[in-house]
Every structure is written in structure tokens, then in C-alpha cells.
Structure 1
Amino acid sequence: MRRLLVAVLSGFLMLNACKPVMQKNETEHLGNPVLPGWFADPTIKKFGDIYYIYATTDNEMLASGAPTVWYSNDLKNWYNYTMEIPSLNSVNLKNFWAPDIIEGDDGRYYLYFGNCQAGCNIYGYVSDTPVGPWIKLHDDDTPVIAHNYPIDGFPSLDAQFFKDDDGVIYGYWGTWVHYNSGYAVGILNNKTLDEMSASQNIPLEQTPEPFEAAYMMKKNNKYILMYSGASCHDETYNVRYSWSDSPYGPFTPGKNNPILQTNVDGTVHGPGHHSVLQDGDDYYIVYHKHDYPFTAGGLARQVCIDSLIFENDSTIKAVVPTLQGIQSPVCSDVPENIALGAKTNASSVYHLQSPDYDYKYLPEFATDDNNATMWKAANNSFPQNIVIDLGTKQKVSRVATFFEFASYYYQYKIEYSEDGESWEVFADQSSNQTSGSPMIDDNDVSARFLKVTVLGSEKTGTYAAIWNLKVYSSRFEIPLNLTNKPSNNEPGAASSKSLLVGFDLNNKDVAPNAKSIKNEGLLGGELAKRGELEIISDKETGKKVVHFKKGALVLDGIEVPKALEWNGAFSVATWVNNPEIDDRDECLASWCDRTEFYLANSYNAVHYNRSNFGAVAHLDGHFDLPYKNLPGAGDLHFIVVTFDGVVEKVYVDGKLDNAQNMLLSSSVKNATIRIGASDFGENYSGYMTSFGLYDYALSTNEILELLQTTKSFEAKVEK
């Protein structure tokens, strides 16, 4: 009897010891998104007592951010680390797409990911730890899965590996498979883990409506091939499955497909590209969804976790996507976040206003412990600050700050106060050049108020923006406790808030045979004539216009300012008359180097055409900004494009025509400012009377004022 009582008491104590720390206004749920940042294509693994999420770093250069990993010992509190992965011998790696990892029989860890810089291949790396440092499986850069395998033209991306009960390791891969002959399956050499064999395509009819991201799992004796369908760029993206008695199939489609899709209220938008975590008898699906407000092209994605439930071995029930996430199955030793729900105020707040949205990035979002919301300052200038009121004076030992971008550094200072008027320094990171999420700062003070002042960031155009600020009265152990290497990059450039390049032929006496036009903007210099263009006089008024044929005005010898690189704000304003509008890509202005990255979102140029690029080019139709109402041919129009670091807008004759949410990652390294042509020679063929390029976003009032002060005459088109 005594033994029974002891056993019962021990069990009771264990249950209480492992009960997660409950915080005010909080349940035991993890909360979705589970990661504070832009990440997609997640693979979740548990090695020892630590959970790891390997993912594509999103929302820059067509999802080509740094190769990072998130790790946690409780599934709720995650820490980000940038991994050391050597580049190819001939290519500096910029793609780290859809990673997967295997623990080998030799106790080492094998990492695989897709890259399309030298053909769309899957490369392999090995390390003694799950976080690296990594070394190549092939010194000569031979892919583990090459482009054109198993058939010509097949892009080898989105590889996931599955180890069967007999030790055989199968690989499943493929993207855009609806026109690439279906997913591929093969066997990975389970000794070297560096090459595939016996590979073939799975017939398309066995996985209806496929897109990418195959994932194999096994339920007793049934093989469940899950995959993502429709389009990753919008709300149609979803998760589907088929099942078989064999790893190679044939596969029978699930009768209740899709099992994960955009929910009715749209709070879970475009969910897909998943992996599965089995924890005892419980299964969890880890997937990404799109942000809100929605970013163009669907490349601002976040990772979520929800329950995966089987009806039987070959049938998966429809997943219920939630904002609450799963109930925590793991005990957490992280103490109460005393800033949860605390009152806040900020130096400024970004108000997103467009035809689709009216949304504010409020300061209270920084204390709501919700990774779907953030505080964002009104513009991308610094300094900006946010103040937290803890309500009463309390002991403060640790502050964890989750900035918008985990893999780029922020420079900041944390101060504390008892009265909100007299401030002392808690932590000074004003010279910081190390990234991380969260950024953890320790001290031992008594305070009621905390103020975080953001002084700068690594990337030009990045806002002062914080997913969450968490404050603790005691410190706690951080699993692995990894620290990133400091960056060698200087902080991003600040805007001059000026006209950089411009001319107005209404106010100039320019000779028709002049070789250049003087730049009236801050950069100075001359806009030199290149190729076929001429300055002509209107027959009736005698005023001048530039007639572009196959040429450009080029700002020679002057570098494009760094304020226009990466996510830097800009505006272009010009009066133009295009005699003919057809399917050619006619560029009004460009200032980026398309060859540096050649990835969507890494290039921007203003166009005037109905095909492909529309009003603004970003290299891919999913991200380009089209005109809703194309300005008519043969008439004079005032075209203005603005970008403030969040929203891109095009105005025609003073009226907003179209807008989209964007985040750019432009390169100006070897670029030249051109008017009337792109860096690839996409020439404008029409007339222009004035032009302005600014390193900030013009307001609506400024646009209307410019429309009046630069209003020109209609250049006569010679028939």
C-alpha cells in the first residue's frame, strides 16, 4: 500500500513538475505562427532532447536568405542560428531552398537543400552536429540529385528523405510537377548518403493536382505520400495525399483531398509545404502560411504547427488550421514573461493604406506574444523607439527582442526607468553587428518602464520592427546557446529625402543637338545621350521633348547611391507620351543590376507596357506590378511609382491605379541610372518632357503638387 501511495505521489509530482508555465492571458497552446519571422518549407526533426526546424529564409530575393536553423527544447521558445555552409567552387550560394536532414547510422548529420544557380540541383553536406559547421559530401560539387534526373528537364528541388523499417532510404522530390511528369522517387545510398539510384517518376494521375513538396511517411504498413497542390503564390495552395502499399506506388489519392487549405475567414492563407513530427502516438503537421497583410507573390511566409490525425492507416482527417496551435507536449523551464499584455507606446506607427488594406502595425503587437503581428515604425528612418509599461516596479533580469529579420543585425539600446522620465542604460547594442532571434540582453535592475530604441539595421530600407518583446525577472538556460558570427557589413544607408536625378525640359533651354542634359538632382552630373534618341521641339509651342527610339539618358560616372539598394524607398515621376503600346517591354527608368542576383524581388525598374512587367518589373510575373488601367497610347500622362519599403504604388495622372505589398532586395553594386531603357536594353519608344528619381516615397499631396508644377504640353506625334 505504501509503495502504491509513493508511486501515485511521484506521478502527481512529475505531472506538476512538467506542467508548462502558465502566463497571464495565456493558455497551454504554443500559438501560430510558431516562429517569429519569415520562413517557409519547414522540416522539423528531434535529435536528442532538442527540436530543430530547418527552413527556407523567406521574404527576400525569391526566398534566398541565409541558411538558418531554429532550435527549441519545448516547441514554444525557439532560437535562430545562421549555419556555416561552404559555397560551391564556382558559385557563391544564394539559394538555400527546402532543406531536409538525416541522422546517419554513423552518428553524423546529413543536410540536403535545393539550389538553382547552376541548374536546379539538390546538394548534400555532413556535420558532426545538427547545426554544423558543414562540409560538402562531394568536393567537386556533384549534386546528390542532379537537374534532369530522372528525366530530361526535371528540376531537382524540394527533396525529402524517408527511412523505411528495413533501413532503405527513399527520396521524393520535384516542383512544378504538374508539367514536369510527376514527382520523382529513388533510393539514397544508405552507406554514403550521397547518391541516388533506381529513380523514376510517379505518374501524375496518382497525385492529382500536384505542385511541389512531396513528403513520405508510414502508418503501420501503409505509405502515405503527402504533397502540396495548386499554387504557392496565392490562397489556392494546399496539402494533399495519396497512399500505397509500396514506397514506389502505385498510389491511390486520398478521397478527402485537400486536407489542409485556406480557412473560411482567411486567417490561415495558402498553407502548404510541410513536414510531420511524430511524438509518441501523436502526429503534428508543420507547414507555412502567408502573411497578413498579404505580400505580393506569397513570399512572406511563416511556420505553423497543428495536429495531424489519422482516421485509419490510409486516411488522414482534414487538418484544422488554428491560431492557437497545439497544446504543448513538453515541459518548459522558461519563466513568466512579465511584459505579456503590457501597455506600450512608440515614437511612430506604420499605417498601411492601399486599395486592399487599412492596417496599423501597433506598438501593443510587440507585447502580445503573437508571431503574426508586429510593431513597425512609420517609416524606415532611425532612431525609433518603443516603451513598455510593466504596471509596477519589478525586477528585470533579461530582455528578449525579436526583430523582424532574424538573420540581419539591428543596432539598438535598451533603457529602464522607474518613472518613465529618468532613464538609465540596461543594455547598449548601438554598435552591434551580430544577428539573432531573439537578441538576449541581461542585467539586474528594478524598473517599471523599458524603452528599446532602434538606431539602425544591417540592410538599407529595413524598418524598426519587432515581433515580440519579452521581459523576465529571472534568467534561464538557453538550449545549445549558440551565437552567430558578427557581420562585416556596414549598416544600411540612410535616405537623403531628395530628388537624386531629374530634368524638366519646360524649364530648360536645351539645344536639339546637345550631347547631354544637366541633372538637376542631388547627384549632379550630366545625363548623356546614348543610342537613338533626340531632343526635338514641339511644332506649335516650340518647347522641347526627348524622343526616345532605341536609346537612353545615362548618368555616367556616378554610382547609384546605396540608399536605393536592398529595400530602399524610391519614387519615379515622369511625363510621357507613348505613341504605340504593344507587347514589348518598354522601360522608363532603371537603376539596379539585374545580373547580380537575377532573382525576383532583387530588381526593380519602371515600365510602360501591357505585357510582362506592366508598371514595375521585379523579374517575375508573380511579383511585377501591372497597371489596372493602362495609360492610353498617344496621350500625355503623368506616371508616378512610389515605394516606401512596404507598399509599392503606381499613380496615373494623379490617381492611384494599383498597389501591392512588397519587400525588395535590390542590388545597385554595378548598376547605372538609365532613363528610357533598362540594363538589358528594354527600350522605351516615345516622348518624355520631365523626369524625377527620388530616394523616398512621395506622398499623395506631393504627387498632386508635382502634377501641377511640371504639367506639360502634349508632344505632337508625327504619323
Structure 2
Amino acid sequence: MPLVRNPILPGFNADPSIVRVGDDYYIATSTFEWYPGVQIHHSKDLANWELVIRPLNRKAQLDMRGDPDSCGIWAPCLTHDGQKFWLVYTDVKRKDGNYKDAHNYIVTAESIMGPWSDPVYVNSSGFDPSLFHDDDGKKWFVNMMWDHRRRPRAFAGIALQEYDAASGKLVGPRTNIYPGSELGLVEAPHLYKRNGYYYLLTAEGGTGYDHACTLVRSRSLTGPYEAHPQTHILTSKDAPHAALQRAGHGDFVETPDGRHYLVHLTGRPTTQLRRCVLGRETAIQEITWSDDDWPYLKSSTPGSLVPSLYVDLPAARDDAPYWAPKAYTFDGPHLPIDFQWLRTPETERIFRTDAKTGKLTLIGREAIGSWFEQALVARRQTHFSYDAETVVDFSPEDERQFAGLTAYYCRFNFFYLTLSAHSDGQRELLIQASEASWPTGGLNNELLTESHAVKIPNEGRVKMKVNVRGRQLQFWYALEGVDEDYKKIGPVLDASIISDECGGHQAHGSFTGAFVGVAASDLNGTAKEAVFDGFTYTPVQHDSDRYEI
């Protein structure tokens, strides 16, 4: 069997849920505040994956305006009952403090490509729900319970309740079937049935470096459940030097020939500060079942819980697409599938594409980092080192209108090369950054003063580029038709800040990953437009990238 290097979905692809239908595998992952909601990848062999759809793509299904950073769509669960696909997901409206306003929904479709139904609201008692289709035809809704009275240990166990598909409601008693292990923070439940046992797989330990997959089983659906002999079946919490860290939140799948695998999220930290700039990614491990009817991680070290960097898969992976440069044009009715935007379903207010010119027009709205309506279009950073480039045509009138190229995580950490204007109307280039993103630990106001701005002519397009080499980030610019040679602007910045660990939240509170893209703002409220002519993303193999696939 070919050895394939993890992760199988590099870059921000968290909380994987996997299902096989015939010879087709599908993985659904979280998208949080990025629109459209839920990424679904397809594969025929578990090694080569293609992003095929984001099913929550209209206002009736999803409106995240006002959702804070790292809220929105959490932990989708994708299943198939033999007739159609079922997608269960949470839209989180608040996550910090005692309360979690986490609303759980179900949508369905006969084909993975849709059309997907309008959502059915289920409950708001917790998050990370799943749907289990028992062999007697009954469906069971499983989700973690949040108890706001118990902060900081508000994870109150895993609840089970029957779901009546005909009425679209939960029916019968709700049972707390598993309180979690001593590791705590139990969430992300998935139920399975095999050889007369019900198996409950959960995530524990939070989403940081103590993350783990925990497994229990019972002869009865409602329990009591007994723990796996090792309690956990996968974790890196006791292996700080392993290549794959933060391992947990998993889901099982069986191949047509009877092999078993576990997909799980993971992070690949860089620098001595252990920062995961690519966010939480999706990896895969082979599982073997023993005579005691318990699954174990297949490993060169018997009994190991540590995920392997390399895994045997049914096919080899073609790495050529991963390393291929991407030159994007915007001539279709929709953005290229690699791109997303933030929160709003009303795309006509923030961008439009042009079939004739292939250009992207952003309509200036709120400032970068807004939780409501900002014109920001970006793709995931999927390599530790890369180049990104675009050309912008923008005529700002003053300092409240700006547009340009951004390396972005959330409102708390981003770098942003902007084309703006001084109060006298003179165009200038300026690097903006969030307070947390500047190396001093706070906003360096000197960056935003006139003395550090680069004055440029009031007419003409501007070429913008960002180079990322591991931890180092450098912006560049050139004036089209005037001086085509790129010039550096600003100092070398710390690219590792665009990471989960610097997301502006408490521990286990930043859940997405680094993006690179374009943005435009008009704080004057006149909806000033910026036109971007193409966008290129070029992966770079660099010596500092130890764990690049």
C-alpha cells in the first residue's frame, strides 16, 4: 500500500466528518465565520481530495452577520441513510463567557451537489451535534450539553434523543449517555454500531495541545458505556515533539474491502512558540480491530496513541496539484471555489465578478475585521511559504477609503497593505495591522503616520505582492506603467502571528486559519469600489518548512 504523508486536507480544514457512499468518500469540515458554510471534499481513494461544494450558500440557510470571530459554523456531521445525505451543523452566535448561543440545524440532499434543503432547527442546548441512523430505521440526535452554571467546566456530557424526521423534531426522553473522561471538555460525539456494540467516539481536552479522541461502548444505545482500555485512541498530548500535534475530533470510515480509518483534526506548529499558521488541518490514520472488539491505532509502536505522519492508503497521492501555482480570474458567475468571504449572504453588497474582463470589484463597506459587513475575499494559506500577487485600481479620496492585499486570520491578527489617500487627497501606500499583529505586542502607530507612508501618483494601477517564507512576511509594490520593478514596503513582519495561537482569544478559543486575499473599505459610507485584476497564489518550497507535505 502506498505511504501518504499527512495531512490529507492541508490548511484550515477542521473538525472532519467522513462518510462513504459506494466508492465515493466525502469529508465535511467546519468553516466558522467564512461564507458559504461547510466545506465538502470528495475522494475515490482517501489520498486525493477535491473541494466540490459548500452547501450552506444562501440566506435561508445561513446568515452570520454579527457572529464573532471563530463562531459561525462548528463541527458539521455528514451522514447518509441509504436514501439521502444528512448534514447537521451548529451556527454559534456567541462563545465567550458563560453562555453559548449555539443553534443546531439539519439540511438534506439526495445528491452531494445539492440542491440542499432549507434548514430544520433542532435545538440550542449544546454544539457539535451528529445524527446516528440505527439499523431499525430510527434516527438519534447526539450532541454535547452546555451547562452555563458550571463555568469553567460547562461541558456537561453527551446527550442522546430520538429525531423524528417526518415532523422535524426531537421526540421522547433526552438521556445524558456519557459524562466524559477525566481529561474533560467532552464534545464532538459520533455514534457507530458494530458486532452488537454501540461505539461513541468523542473529542476531549479542548482544541489545543491536550486534544484527544476518546472511545467508549455499550450493548445498549442509552448506556452504560465502558471506556476503551486506553481511554483515548488518538492523542499527541504526551508527545510534544511529534510532527502532528493537537490531534483529536475524529470520525471512522470503512473501505469497501474492510479496512478502517480514522480522520481527525491536527495542527503542525512552527517556531519555538508552537504556532499553527495553517490552522487545524485534516489527517488520517489506519485503525485495526482486535479480538476484544476494540479498535486500535495502527502504529509501528504497539499501543501508541500518537498519530503518524505517514499512513498506508489505498492509493498514492499526486502532489503535483498541491505545488502548482494558481492564477485566478474572476470571470464566472461565482468566485473561484478556493475563495470565501465573511459572514454575509448578501454578496451583491460586497463584491461582483465580470465575465468580460475577469476582474473582481469590491464594494467598500466597513473596516477590515468587522463582524457584520466587510468586503474581503480570500483563500486559505495551505503552504508554510508562498507568494501572492494582485493588481488594484482604486482612487481613494481620503484616509477613510482603503483597499489592498491582506494576510488575514481575524480582527485580532492581520497584516494589510493598503492603497489609501492622505486627508489632502494624495494617494499613498500604507501597511495596517491589528494591535496583536505588530511585533511589539501593541499597535505601532508610527506605521500609520504620514512619515512612513509611500506617496504615489493619483492615477494608475498598483501591483501588490506578499512573500511569506516560514515566519517571515514581506510586502512589495510596483506602479504599473510607471515603475514595474517591485519595491519592498515596510519591514519584515512575523507571519507566525497569523495563527490560532495569536487569534486574540483565551486558550482553545481561535479555531480557523490563515488566509490571503483582497479587501476594500469605505468608512465615508459612499461604497467606493476597488477593482482587482487577477490574483495569483504560488506555493514555495522553503528550507524552514519542516513538515510540508
Confirm whether residue 561 of structure 1 aligns to residue 403 of structure 2: yes
8 Å contact from structure 1 (residues 159, 171) kept in 2: yes
Q: Are the structure 2 counterparts of residues 273 and 638 from structure 1 closer, same or farther at C-alpha, using a change threshold of 3 Å?
A: same
Confirm whether residue 269 of structure 1 aligns to residue 237 of structure 2: no
Q: Distance in 2 between matches of 1:122 and 1:495?
A: 42
1:317 to 283, 291, 296: 296
The Cα shift of 1:110 comes to 2.2
Query: Which residue is 1:435 aligned to?
Result: 336
> CA-to-partner distance for each residue in 1:213-255, whole Å, 9 max, x for gaps?
11222331222221111121x3221111222222222223334
Q: Are the structure 2 counterparts of residues 79 and 266 from structure 1 closer, same or farther at C-alpha, using a change threshold of 3 Å?
A: same
Q: Distance in 1 between matches of 2:262 and 2:492?
A: 45
8 Å contact from structure 2 (residues 260, 286) kept in 1: yes
Q: Are the structure 2 counterparts of residues 671 and 248 from structure 1 closer, same or farther at C-alpha, using a change threshold of 3 Å?
A: farther
Q: Are the structure 2 counterparts of residues 91 and 493 from structure 1 closer, same or farther at C-alpha, using a change threshold of 3 Å?
A: farther
Confirm whether residue 660 of structure 1 aligns to residue 478 of structure 2: no
Where 1:247 maps in the other structure, the secondary structure is coil
2:73 to 57, 82, 96: 96
Q: Are the structure 2 counterparts of residues 660 and 276 from structure 1 closer, same or farther at C-alpha, using a change threshold of 3 Å?
A: same
- TM-score norm. by structure 2 comes to 0.58
Query: Which residue is 2:544 aligned to?
Result: none
1:135 to 114, 117, 142: 117
Q: Distance in 2 between matches of 1:325 and 1:103?
A: 26
Query: Which residue is 1:69 aligned to?
Result: 40
**Range with bigger deviation, 252-261 or 188-197:** 188-197
Q: Distance in 1 between matches of 2:417 and 2:61?
A: 37
Q: Distance in 1 between matches of 2:106 and 2:9?
A: 25
8 Å contact from structure 2 (residues 277, 496) kept in 1: no
8 Å contact from structure 1 (residues 569, 645) kept in 2: no
1:210-221 correspondence to structure 2 within 5 Å: 210-221=185-196
Where 2:234 maps in the other structure, the secondary structure is coil
Where 2:7 maps in the other structure, the secondary structure is coil
8 Å contact from structure 2 (residues 288, 295) kept in 1: yes
Query: Which residue is 2:373 aligned to?
Result: none
> CA-to-partner distance for each residue in 1:383-408, whole Å, 9 max, x for gaps?
xxxxxxxxxxxxxxxxxx575xxxxx
Letter in 2 for 1:98: A
2:136 to 156, 166, 169: 166
8 Å contact from structure 1 (residues 560, 672) kept in 2: no
Q: Are the structure 2 counterparts of residues 457 and 90 from structure 1 closer, same or farther at C-alpha, using a change threshold of 3 Å?
A: closer
Confirm whether residue 41 of structure 1 aligns to residue 15 of structure 2: yes
Q: Are the structure 2 counterparts of residues 672 and 300 from structure 1 closer, same or farther at C-alpha, using a change threshold of 3 Å?
A: farther
Where 1:228 maps in the other structure, the secondary structure is strand
> CA-to-partner distance for each residue in 1:637-672, whole Å, 9 max, x for gaps?
9876999686699xxxx9999962443689764657
Letter in 1 for 2:285: D
- Give the aligned length: 396
Query: Which residue is 2:342 aligned to?
Result: none
The Cα shift of 1:493 comes to 6.3
Confirm whether residue 124 of structure 1 aligns to residue 25 of structure 2: no
Letter in 2 for 1:101: L
Q: Are the structure 2 counterparts of residues 130 and 237 from structure 1 closer, same or farther at C-alpha, using a change threshold of 3 Å?
A: same
Q: Distance in 2 between matches of 1:658 and 1:127?
A: 40
Structure 2 spans left out of the alignment, 5+ residues? 66-71, 95-100, 148-152, 300-306, 340-357, 362-375, 419-430, 453-464, 474-490, 500-513, 526-549
Q: Distance in 1 between matches of 2:383 and 2:114?
A: 28
Where 2:235 maps in the other structure, the secondary structure is coil
The Cα shift of 1:274 comes to 1.1
Letter in 1 for 2:309: L
8 Å contact from structure 2 (residues 133, 139) kept in 1: yes
The Cα shift of 1:134 comes to 0.6
1:367-406 correspondence to structure 2 within 5 Å: 367=320, 401=324
8 Å contact from structure 2 (residues 185, 204) kept in 1: yes
1:419-568 correspondence to structure 2 within 5 Å: 435-436=336-337, 494=392, 525=398, 558-563=400-405
The Cα shift of 1:188 comes to 1.7
Q: Distance in 1 between matches of 2:131 and 2:228?
A: 21
Q: Distance in 2 between matches of 1:43 and 1:657?
A: 33
Q: Which structure features the higher share of strand residues? A: 2
Q: Are the structure 2 counterparts of residues 464 and 259 from structure 1 closer, same or farther at C-alpha, using a change threshold of 3 Å?
A: closer
8 Å contact from structure 2 (residues 286, 297) kept in 1: no
Letter in 1 for 2:43: S
1:52 to 22, 26, 31: 26
The Cα shift of 1:435 comes to 2.3
Where 1:52 maps in the other structure, the secondary structure is strand
Q: Are the structure 2 counterparts of residues 494 and 257 from structure 1 closer, same or farther at C-alpha, using a change threshold of 3 Å?
A: farther
> CA-to-partner distance for each residue in 1:166-218, whole Å, 9 max, x for gaps?
23222221277841322222112254565454223345356752342112223
8 Å contact from structure 2 (residues 205, 211) kept in 1: yes
Q: Distance in 1 between matches of 2:311 and 2:184?
A: 27
1:186-265 correspondence to structure 2 within 5 Å: 186-191=161-166, 195=170, 197-202=172-177, 204=179, 208-232=183-207, 234-262=208-236, 263=239, 265=241
- TM-score norm. by structure 1 comes to 0.46
Q: Distance in 2 between matches of 1:164 and 1:462?
A: 38
Q: Distance in 2 between matches of 1:266 and 1:189?
A: 44
Confirm whether residue 308 of structure 1 aligns to residue 287 of structure 2: yes
Letter in 2 for 1:307: E
> CA-to-partner distance for each residue in 1:11-44, whole Å, 9 max, x for gaps?
xxxxxxxxxxxxxxxx623432223543111111
Q: Are the structure 2 counterparts of residues 231 and 42 from structure 1 closer, same or farther at C-alpha, using a change threshold of 3 Å?
A: same
Which structure is larger by alpha-carbon Rg, 1 or 2? 1
Q: Distance in 2 between matches of 1:298 and 1:268?
A: 14
Where 1:210 maps in the other structure, the secondary structure is coil
Q: Distance in 2 between matches of 1:466 and 1:457?
A: 24
Q: Are the structure 2 counterparts of residues 456 and 656 from structure 1 closer, same or farther at C-alpha, using a change threshold of 3 Å?
A: same
The Cα shift of 1:297 comes to 6.9
8 Å contact from structure 1 (residues 565, 668) kept in 2: no
8 Å contact from structure 1 (residues 112, 124) kept in 2: yes
Q: Are the structure 2 counterparts of residues 277 and 460 from structure 1 closer, same or farther at C-alpha, using a change threshold of 3 Å?
A: closer
8 Å contact from structure 1 (residues 648, 661) kept in 2: no
Identity over aligned pairs, percent? 17
Confirm whether residue 31 of structure 1 aligns to residue 5 of structure 2: yes
Query: Which residue is 1:327 aligned to?
Result: 313
8 Å contact from structure 1 (residues 32, 304) kept in 2: yes
Query: Which residue is 1:290 aligned to?
Result: 267
8 Å contact from structure 1 (residues 79, 437) kept in 2: no
Letter in 2 for 1:660: I
Letter in 2 for 1:212: E
Where 1:120 maps in the other structure, the secondary structure is strand
Query: Which residue is 2:422 aligned to?
Result: none
The Cα shift of 1:120 comes to 1.1
Q: Are the structure 2 counterparts of residues 84 and 215 from structure 1 closer, same or farther at C-alpha, using a change threshold of 3 Å?
A: closer
Q: Distance in 1 between matches of 2:281 and 2:378?
A: 21
The Cα shift of 1:267 comes to 0.8
Higher relative contact order (CA closer than 8 Å, sequence separation 6+): 2
Query: Which residue is 1:382 aligned to?
Result: none
Where 2:17 maps in the other structure, the secondary structure is strand
Where 2:63 maps in the other structure, the secondary structure is coil
8 Å contact from structure 2 (residues 17, 27) kept in 1: yes
